Amino acid sequence: MTAHTAHDPAIPAEADPSPCHTAELLVHVARLVHGAASDPSLTPAQWTALRYFASANRFSRTPSAFSEFHATTRGTASQTVKSLIAMGLLARKANEADGRSTLIEVTPAGQAKLAGDPLADLSHCVRAMPANERAMFAGALARLGSELARLRAVPTFGQCGECGHCDREAPGGAFCRCTQSSLNGDDMGSLCIDFAPTPPRIR
C-alpha cells in the first residue's frame, strides 16, 4: 500500500490541487494585497496594526494582543504601534477596567487613512463571489486558521458574535462568560483575543 494522499473520486484529479499549492496561493494572495498598494506610505505591518486596532474589541486593543494576532514578538509589535502613534494614526487611552494598562485607539486621522486600505481590493473580490461560495470560503478559512493556531499553540482570533463564550440568551442581552462583561452591538462584530470557536452542533 502506497503513502499517496487519498483522493476523493467525486473530484476530478486535475481539479484537486495539492495542499502545498493551495497554501502557496494563500501566501501569494496576501502578498498581492500590498505588492501594488496605491498608498505605500505604511508598511504591511503598519497597515495590519491600524486595521487590527480599528476592528478589535475593548478587551483586545493592547500591543500584546496585537503581537499575538500578527504572530510577532511583543517588542516588534510595540515598535509598530509606537510608529503609528508618532504619525498621529493611533493614540494611547487609559484602560478604565485596568489602571495598570492602556488601550490603543485609532485616531480620526487613522480612520481617514483606512479609507485607502489596500485590503479594499481583496474585499471587493471576495464580495463579488457568489454568496454560497463566499460562505464556504469563509468557513474553510476559519477552520484553517483555527487548526494552524492549534498546531502553533497560539490564540485563535474571531468575532464575539461567533464565539463560544458569548451567551446570547443572557438576561439584558449578550454576555461574555470569559470576561464576565455585557456585550454591545459593536462588540458582536469585533475581534477578540479570548475567542473560542463554537463547537459544532449535533444534529
Residue 99's pLDDT is what?
A: 63
Three-class secondary structure of residue 56 per DSSP = strand
Q: Fill in the DSSP letter of residue 162.
A: G
Contact status, residue 152 vs residue 123, Cβ threshold 8 Å? no
pTM of the model: 0.74
- Tens of pLDDT, residues 140-198: 988 888 888 888 877 777 777 777 777 877 776 778 787 777 777 677 777 888 787 76
- Tens of pLDDT, residues 37-92: 667 889 999 999 999 999 998 888 999 889 988 888 999 999 999 999 999 999 99
CA 11 to chain centre: 31
> What topology is assigned to 41-116 in CATH?
Arc Repressor Mutant, subunit A (1.10.10)
Q: If we measure between CA atoms, which residue out of 191, 157, 192, 158 comes closest to residue 178?
A: 192
Radius of gyration of the chain (CA): 19
Contact status, residue 80 vs residue 96, Cβ threshold 8 Å? no
For the chain, what's the residue count?
203
- Give the whole-angstrom CA distance, residue 42 versus residue 87: 10
Residue 198's pLDDT is what?
A: 67
Interaxial angle between packed helices 19-35 and 119-127, expressed in degrees from 0 to 180 and rounded to the nearest 10: 130
Residue 160's pLDDT is what?
A: 75
127-148 in b/e form (b: 16+ CB < 10 A) is eeeeeeeeeeeeeeeeeeebee
- Tens of pLDDT, residues 86-113: 999 999 988 776 666 789 999 999 999 9
Residue 202's pLDDT is what?
A: 37
- Give the whole-angstrom CA distance, residue 42 versus residue 180: 37
What's at 160, amino acid-wise?
A: C
Q: Helices in the chain by DSSP H: which ranges?
A: 19-35, 44-55, 63-69, 74-86, 108-113, 119-127, 131-152, 185-188
Residue 176's pLDDT is what?
A: 79
